[in-house]
Structure 1
């Protein structure tokens, strides 16, 4: 299949309520042409509702939705020319693989001879050459997922919507399919909006990620920016592991207790502040490190996890802090015993001051 002329998507002030619940609360979002954008959030956050608005299965109470320059808020799903895959795959068990993949083309009255050729090309694209005559019950989970993708792309839509398509797969296959779907997107170039609650999946696959909670977008950024510079506690807590310490502003400094913190980025203008530290960025040292933020603690619990070990420590004021060290011979030798005093250091670039709100 050739690279497809993708369309941008513009969502403006979209609201959807169910009784008193705001499933979508005045959401605005722009998806670039050819971009892979992921809607990431917990169950009930509004991410699937937003995807259903894009697909046309849910009509919002207010707002605008444009594909390119065309307003589509009142356009029915079958006229939006959007490909979609579902969590359950929604394949027809009484049809062969070719029958399933060709179904959207038959709905569009494509000539039978052309259908066969386009189905073959779609199956080649998802690496299922020669599977056209198979029954759905003869396929593995990963193969069914590929059939669902082939059916979604066979009519060459300019927008592809994917609703947690990998959630039914085991971890190893899910990891493999993440890479395959990303490669497929790069090959076809269609604008893709992908829904998941799995933060690692979102980080692996996306050009940008919109973190959604309570029907609102908490932050929209690249995977790198989201992880390194979360906008608030919710984003920091949802993306990766985090340790938080309450801090205060004192003049032009941010302090933890009586210690002025060294941090490389300006603190946000917020009433409440937190020091966020990623566990893998906290160093276990034998003495204070010059230029770093240093904390004295006691190792409460040490957990060996194969490729790393986790230390749950307690600072002098009783605050708990977690650090993770990658496993190596040197790290194993330095692994503290429970109850041992330890020194922790955090470089200024790894000391991130965030808004304490939006939990």
Structure 2
């Protein structure tokens, strides 16, 4: 027995149409991927699994290999060895236009001689989609990025944020399974950039497309991502959810790169861990084969009164500077060993009334639950 099903209802049920609020993305498998430029290894045997519908950020300093990895996924850079598969389909040697991926570049790469509608519809034109369907898809893509009233506008009449939205609409108009984004917000001012971070995150949640996002901005990565892969010298140093990555970095590099931190050398002697002349409490050492460091983050520290209980690791020091920064106050404290450590406090009335003065002797404290020791990076 056969049953006639309305094509529009069938498309809706399978999540094929844009904005279906399902999960049309596909998983990505990367195995032993390497890219060499002369004697420089831009990618060094990278293994990575990206989940279907996930928002994964590649985070790292300039020259770490994050953009090289993205370009290999896009097909614009061919690796020397290794493999890339989309949902089990090998694509390592497949040209970019046959990978069915959307790409948003750092400079947006919009066509200045075309209006907004023509720019967004260009990928459909290449795929020989009919005029009526193209017009419908363009309208819906622009609706998603809140630019439906600007179909006829020229590119040079748009603001930076509007151009970024047009580039996004063009990347999703043909409903790709994978979306790649290479620092798309770097040209925007701080306020607009932070607004667009949330907008892109909401768009991802609506479409469910597998998204790989490249940035060197730690706060941006923490704000937007399901998981973050921290890349250093062509290798993945750690991959984890934002909170786990920040609260439990796996190495010295990750601890220093994610957020603000001062790292103090830790010695193991007398069956205990010592740092800056003080014996550390509540420290678990999993790897004793590499040098160890205590991670001190400004927001995790406090100034302790003499009667404070035993739930803190304590370090005597002296205040060198107090700097008011609007939403917070930075207190620079020199420990007895000479290291300068920053402590950050909220600038509410209570905190401001209790600030120490330059030259005051203080006790810097980090709670046992916030005491974190990390190993040196592996060679």
Task: Give the shorter-chain TM-score range.
Answer: over 0.9
Offset, 1:288: 5.1
The answer to whether the 8 A contact 2:283-2:373 is kept is no
In structure 2, runs of 5+ residues without a counterpart are 1-17
Residue 113 (structure 2) pairs with residue 105 (structure 1): no
For residues 289 and 368 of structure 2, the distance between their equivalents in structure 1, rounded to whole angstroms, comes to 20
Partner of residue 69, structure 1: 88
Partner of residue 244, structure 1: 263
Partner of residue 338, structure 1: 358
For residues 160 and 242 of structure 1, the distance between their equivalents in structure 2, rounded to whole angstroms, comes to 33
For residues 342 and 378 of structure 2, the distance between their equivalents in structure 1, rounded to whole angstroms, comes to 22
Offset, 1:264: 5.5
Partner of residue 24, structure 1: 43
For residues 304 and 314 of structure 1, the distance between their equivalents in structure 2, rounded to whole angstroms, comes to 18
Matches for 1:148-297 after TM superposition, within 5 Å: 148-250=167-269, 252-263=271-282, 265-287=284-306, 289-290=308-309, 291-297=311-317
SS in 1 for 2:136: helix
Residue 339 (structure 2) pairs with residue 315 (structure 1): no
SS in 1 for 2:176: coil
For residues 300 and 68 of structure 2, the distance between their equivalents in structure 1, rounded to whole angstroms, comes to 36
The answer to whether the 8 A contact 1:245-1:276 is kept is yes
The answer to whether the 8 A contact 2:23-2:52 is kept is no
Provide the TM-score with structure 2 as the length reference. Answer: 0.92
Partner of residue 303, structure 1: 323
Task: After superposing the two structures, state which structure 1 stretch, 268-277 or 11-20, moved more.
Answer: 268-277
For residues 11 and 301 of structure 1, the distance between their equivalents in structure 2, rounded to whole angstroms, comes to 49
Offset, 1:268: 3.2
Provide the TM-score with structure 1 as the length reference. Answer: 0.97
For residues 302 and 7 of structure 1, the distance between their equivalents in structure 2, rounded to whole angstroms, comes to 51
Offset, 1:115: 0.4
The answer to whether the 8 A contact 1:202-1:209 is kept is yes
Offset, 1:237: 1.0
Offset, 1:270: 3.5
Offset, 1:357: 2.9
Partner of residue 131, structure 1: 150
For residues 191 and 124 of structure 1, the distance between their equivalents in structure 2, rounded to whole angstroms, comes to 20
For residues 358 and 203 of structure 1, the distance between their equivalents in structure 2, rounded to whole angstroms, comes to 24
For residues 75 and 249 of structure 1, the distance between their equivalents in structure 2, rounded to whole angstroms, comes to 52
For residues 358 and 296 of structure 1, the distance between their equivalents in structure 2, rounded to whole angstroms, comes to 32
The answer to whether the 8 A contact 1:313-1:320 is kept is yes
SS in 2 for 1:130: helix
The answer to whether the 8 A contact 1:265-1:349 is kept is no
For residues 231 and 40 of structure 2, the distance between their equivalents in structure 1, rounded to whole angstroms, comes to 15
The answer to whether the 8 A contact 1:4-1:156 is kept is no
Offset, 1:260: 2.3
For residues 179 and 265 of structure 1, the distance between their equivalents in structure 2, rounded to whole angstroms, comes to 37
In structure 1, runs of 5+ residues without a counterpart are none
For residues 257 and 100 of structure 1, the distance between their equivalents in structure 2, rounded to whole angstroms, comes to 60
Aligned residues: 359
For residues 321 and 279 of structure 2, the distance between their equivalents in structure 1, rounded to whole angstroms, comes to 28
